[in-house]
A and B are shown apart, each in its own frame.
Chain A
Amino acid sequence: MTANFLSLLFIVALMLVAVPPITYLERKVLGHMQQRPGPMVVGFHGLLQPLADAIKLIFKEDIIPRGADRLLFMFAPSFSVFGALLAASVVPIGFIQAVPLKSGLLFVMAMSAISIYALVLAGYASNSKYSFLGGMRAAAQVLGFELPLGFAVMAVVLLYGTLDFNEMVKWQQEHGWGILYQPIAFLLFLFMMVAEIGRPPFDLPEGESELVGGFHTEYSGMRFAAFYFGEYINIIVLSLVVSLLFLGGWSGPFADKYPLIGVIYHLLKAGFFIFLTFWLRATFPRYRFDQMLSIMWKIMLPVAIVNVFVAALQVFLLKL
């Protein structure tokens, strides 16, 4: 019980502490990919930039626009952090797991679905047309990616025969990484993951070129920061989940003897996927709204459904 509680404290602290450095890294990576240095002014090579941002956000005036739905406007950002942190609480990092849940994978998906409400409600409550359109896009995006994501996950779950993260890693330690068996599910999951956290090329709800900033046009100060925290915690959590599902989580050489090395392996694998989201942002232009929906419904969903049959065949033929 105390071990669980300590793990919970560790995971929540890790999630909250990791966000500012990740924003710094993102800006640096983006900068260098676009042949510019990124933040350089505050501290050595801009290292204190996240701190400066935090101070600015804390002291900024908290504005509630006239005509906004005050209650929903104030509560909407909390959905973002709430869902993301609850999802983080069931994900094991190496041997550190706060809540060992039998259906952990499903729980993560449920909580990620909850955090989408932040965008939808913020869009509605701001009473501004840019925010509203952003919120509508967020709602439509959920309806787009939820089904293919569910089927992509279903293929892996069929293969492993469990929803428990620990059992999945155990399976992969015996049979080899999941990506070898289900490369298509891996690609589908990556695609949907990017759509789920609303990162480019799927940042339609924000779309600064056409919607100014979408759902967070009217927000300022710490309420604005709450959206960022939710988004980045979601990135971390889903990166951890991808590496659990497809890259064997904390498995690797010497990980059995020294569990701490397993934690480092897992964080490194997740770190690669966090980097990947920056990379995608620097590489791809944003999809148009109708393009996004038709990709999801006409291409991804059929591929994902066929992939479930492939997974069933694998289980049947290979006697896994």
Chain B
Amino acid sequence: MNEVFFYFFAVLSLVFGLVAVTSRNIVRGGVALLGCFVSLGAVYFTVGAEFLGIVQVIVYGGAIIVLYLFALMTMDFATLKSEPIKMAIVAVGGALALTTSLLLFVGSSGIAESVKPSISGAEDIAVPMFFKFLLPFEAVSVLLLIATVGAVAIGRRED
């Protein structure tokens, strides 16, 4: 039963992801991205990592997409034009990402069977994060702080 749901939501997230990339209407694309994130959260649920699934929905579905939509709705899309060269660069990047993920998929197909998710609750994530991996965790928070300060500095530039 779980497997049925797993494949259902996996396919659903792929379909939503495709719609998000190909959609001409950018707000619809944003909504499709929301669908993609929520069904990805459901995929986490089906493999037993419920905390991760919920966090996925809260962080990406709750805050980030609202922010995206908020910004997208205020933008003026009449001034945007299609740029073939940039599109080509993006396409090459996409192809590289696809091959890498395929390689990863093929390489890890043997491992995947033996891996059992042991992180269902909040404690299973929090305990390693705050004891075993405290230094990387703090380093990441400093990195985020730098990014925030940088964003504020760029956003407030007066000309």
Contacts of A121 in B (CB 8 A): 27, 31, 69
Task: State which residues 8-45 of A face B: CB under 8 Å.
Answer: none
In contact, B70 and A143 (Cβ under 8 angstroms): yes
* Alpha-carbon distance between A69 and B41 when the two chains are bound, in angstroms: 27
In contact, A72 and B122 (Cβ under 8 angstroms): no
SS of A interface (majority) = helix
1/0 per position for A83-109, CB-CB distance to B under 8 A?
000000000000000000111001101
* Alpha-carbon distance between A135 and B72 when the two chains are bound, in angstroms: 13
A120 in the interface, Cβ–Cβ < 8 Å? yes
- Of A111-119, A169-177, A209-217, A300-308, which stretch is located at the interface? A111-119
In contact, A110 and B28 (Cβ under 8 angstroms): no
If A69-B25, A139-B66, A146-B63 touch, whether A114 touches B57 (CB-CB below 8 Å) is yes
Instruction: Give the Cβ gap from B66 to chain A, nearest Cβ, in Å.
Output: 5
- Of B47-55, B83-91, B108-116, B131-139, which stretch is located at the interface? B47-55
What bracket does the count of chain B residues touching chain A fall in? 20 to 34
In contact, B73 and A110 (Cβ under 8 angstroms): no
Instruction: Give the Cβ gap from A138 to chain B, nearest Cβ, in Å.
Output: 9
Nearest B residue to A161 via CB reads: B123
The A/B interface has a contact count, at CB < 8 Å, of 80
* Alpha-carbon distance between A110 and B57 when the two chains are bound, in angstroms: 6
Nearest A residue to B62 via CB reads: A113
In contact, A136 and B70 (Cβ under 8 angstroms): yes
A310 in the interface, Cβ–Cβ < 8 Å? no
1/0 per position for B12-35, CB-CB distance to A under 8 A?
000000000000010110010010
A57 in the interface, Cβ–Cβ < 8 Å? no
In contact, A103 and B73 (Cβ under 8 angstroms): no
In contact, B50 and A143 (Cβ under 8 angstroms): no
In contact, A116 and B27 (Cβ under 8 angstroms): no
Number of A interface residues in the complex (CB < 8 A): 27
If A102-B121, A120-B69 touch, whether A114 touches B28 (CB-CB below 8 Å) is no
A320 in the interface, Cβ–Cβ < 8 Å? no
Task: State which residues 34-66 of B face A: CB under 8 Å.
Answer: 34, 38, 41, 50-51, 54-55, 57-58, 61-63, 65-66
Instruction: Give the Cβ gap from B130 to chain A, nearest Cβ, in Å.
Output: 13
In contact, A102 and B50 (Cβ under 8 angstroms): yes
Among A106, A110, A114, A121, residue most surrounded by chain B Cβ atoms (within 10 Å): A110
If A101-B50, A102-B51, A114-B38 touch, whether A139 touches B61 (CB-CB below 8 Å) is no
Instruction: Give the Cβ gap from A239 to chain B, nearest Cβ, in Å.
Output: 21
Task: State which residues 187-210 of A face B: CB under 8 Å.
Answer: none
If A102-B50, A143-B63 touch, whether A113 touches B58 (CB-CB below 8 Å) is yes
Contacts of A136 in B (CB 8 A): 70, 73-74
B67 in the interface, Cβ–Cβ < 8 Å? yes
Instruction: Give the Cβ gap from B76 to chain A, nearest Cβ, in Å.
Output: 14
Instruction: Give the Cβ gap from A150 to chain B, nearest Cβ, in Å.
Output: 9
A163 in the interface, Cβ–Cβ < 8 Å? yes
Contacts of B121 in A (CB 8 A): 102-103, 163
If A102-B51, A102-B121 touch, whether A146 touches B62 (CB-CB below 8 Å) is yes
Which residues of A come within 8 Å of B, CB atoms? 69, 71-72, 101-103, 106-107, 109-111, 113-114, 116-117, 120-121, 124, 132, 135-136, 139-140, 142-143, 146, 163
Name the 7 nearest CB pairs between A and B, nearest first. Answer: A113-B62, A110-B57, A139-B70, A110-B58, A106-B54, A102-B121, A142-B66
Contacts A69-B28, A103-B121 aside, 10 further interface pairs with beta carbons under 8 A come to A72-B27, A72-B28, A106-B54, A109-B58, A114-B57, A124-B73, A135-B73, A136-B74, A142-B66, A163-B121
A-B contact pairs, 12 of them (CB 8 A): A69-B27, A102-B122, A103-B121, A110-B41, A110-B62, A113-B57, A113-B58, A113-B62, A117-B34, A120-B66, A132-B73, A142-B62
